Amino acid sequence: MRVRVVLVLSLLALLAGVSDAKEHGHDGMQGSRFPHYFPYPPALKPQVEFWKKIFAQYSEWQVVIHDTEDLDKVYTVLDFRPFLDETGLLDGMTIEQFKAAQTKRELERIRALLLRLHARGGDDSGLTHEEKKIWNLYKDVRDPEKFRKAAEEGRLRSQSGLRERFAEGIRLSRRYLHEMEEIFRKEGLPVELTRLPLIESCFNLRAYSKAGAAGIWQFIPATGRLYMRIDGAIDERRDPLISTRAAARLLKTNYAMLGTWPLAITAYNHGPYGVAKAVKTLGTTDIDKIIRLYRGERFGFASRNFYPEFLAALEVERDYQNYFGPLRLEPPLRYDEVRLEHYLSLQHVAYCANTSTDEILALNPALQEPIRTGRARIPRGYRVRVPAGTAPLFLQRYAALAPQYKAESQNAVFALHKVRPGQTLAHIARQHGTTTAALVRLNGLKSGGQIRVGQTLRVPVRTGSKTEGQLETAQQGSDQPVTLLQASAKTGGTDTTPGKKSIGTKRVVKKPAYVTHKVRQGQTLHQIARRYNTTPEVLRRLNGVSNVRRLQAGQILRVPTNRVIRDT
């Protein structure tokens, strides 16, 4: 009996400890380096330590030249900080251009040095100091081809430091982190996952990648549209709280499919079926073995390092004062939320809340350029954030607004796209879900459709599409004006099915980036998802499937044509 009492008391103490850890927002991290559900295999130490230095030691004006297979093999570190105050000494080059040119030159020099070492055939006599240093880096590697392989294109790499950006990311994160952690707790997920934006974007709300990924969670358009509203008026990827709800659901789906958090986190970068393929190929769920041994298609440097980066970010963020000293942390976000019953201008929303338009924009980062410039209105149904305590005044002033300020429709707009190097008209058309013929017609191009870098093109805004850059109001008599999407504000997990009606006297509905799949006898949702490199959850939500086990032969499903998860 006494033994039972002791065991019960011990169990209660353990549960109390877990509860206390959750109170502090780290769910089990107290007193240990990482919680058990984020294993840290010893073999990953070189990678984790490398990224800790990138995040916390090396400046953005320092460039590390290193091996991609063994991150502890660092050849040299270029330091451009002494040039920051130099003026007129770079022949008109900016410091960024100078940094890029010197980095390229250094990569070529190190590659030539490695090939010289290979040509020695094992003879280490008469080496220079630098050659001896690199020779010693490989002294434990017995492969006679080691230096030649190290000189290959995929092995030699440069990485700029992130110290300034990472410290700023920690500082900015405190504005949203408390609410983000609450979102993840409600979903039953480890709150440490809310630190993923540190490696995705350093909590830069305006982050935008070459692949079109946006916001702190870096959703690409195809993925974002499955969870959020993305169109010419609203891009919820840029809202840190709405996109956090989307990220929570996405990570939850990854975990349900793959069974471990290291794999689910890696899938955020590489895609769930890509990671599942790695597991099947190697016959293991061990993240260490997958990182070291798997050489599948597109499982490159970014995918292999995503989980080690996450561990490094956790450690640096947890002990940020030891790495950066005291930081002036942003206070937690405080706001009220009101739902618009009409289309309303930004200026009138600010008036009703008795605040500035800048404050409304800061609280609502999903609002796109046409709303910011007054050329479009905030959509009806959108839940606008206003300063804390102003909701009653807002509702009072809103009710008193003259009817002419409460619109029943949206302005018609076109998107403006600035041509980047390497882009073709066909590429731009695919990106915006339109056709080359439409772009030729809207921009008065010649039949050949020749475009140049830096040229600005008008592109039609379609329902649910991502827009890039500014939007302009459609002029009277212009060809095929397209109205913005009319819809309620979407938060993570609500219906964002493309194809809902737009309002306006004229409209052109562009075909969204989906294909149809006719279900064959015996096919399951998992099999179909695997074929199209998406997830059963995405197909279920997109098609309103209530019972995934009861697909009918001949049933037509919509399937996104893009990869569900971005791969960098």
Catalytic residue set: 200
CB atoms < 10 A from the CB of 522, how many? 8
What's the start-to-end Cα distance of the chain, in Å?
59
φ, ψ dihedrals at 420, nearest 5°: -105, 160
Q: Which of 535, 492, 565, 495 is nearest to 183 (CA)?
A: 492
φ, ψ dihedrals at 265, nearest 5°: -70, -45
Q: Which of 73, 31, 25 is nearest to 49 (CA)?
A: 73
Which amino acid is located at 93 in the chain?
M
3-state class (DSSP) for residue 205: coil
| Apex 545 CA angle, 555 and 231, nearest 5 | 100
* Contact between residue 298 and residue 270 where contact means Cβ atoms under 8 Å apart: yes
- Gap between the Cα atoms of 219 and 236, Å rounded: 10
* Contact between residue 525 and residue 489 where contact means Cβ atoms under 8 Å apart: no
3-state class (DSSP) for residue 281: helix
Q: Which residues pair with 62 in a beta bridge?
A: 79
Residue with tokens 């009101």: 338
- Gap between the Cα atoms of 117 and 148, Å rounded: 8
Give every CB contact of residue 222 below 8 A, 6+ residues apart in sequence.
513, 560, 561, 562, 563, 564
Residue with tokens 């000293």: 325
* Contact between residue 439 and residue 455 where contact means Cβ atoms under 8 Å apart: no
Q: How far is CA 256 from CA 115, 276, 537, 547, in A?
A: 47, 12, 10, 17
Residue with tokens 């963020």: 317
Q: Which residues pair with 156 in a beta bridge?
A: 67
- Gap between the Cα atoms of 566 and 272, Å rounded: 11
- Gap between the Cα atoms of 554 and 94, Å rounded: 61
- Gap between the Cα atoms of 210 and 567, Å rounded: 12
* Contact between residue 163 and residue 64 where contact means Cβ atoms under 8 Å apart: no
**Secondary structure percentages of the chain, helix, strand, coil, to 5:** 45, 10, 45
* Contact between residue 292 and residue 307 where contact means Cβ atoms under 8 Å apart: no
Q: How far is CA 171 from CA 25, 344, 426, in A?
A: 17, 33, 41
Q: Which residues pair with 214 in a beta bridge?
A: 208, 219
Q: Which of 101, 49, 52 is nearest to 80 (CA)?
A: 101
User: Which H or E element spans position 82?
Assistant: none
Residue with tokens 């924009």: 361
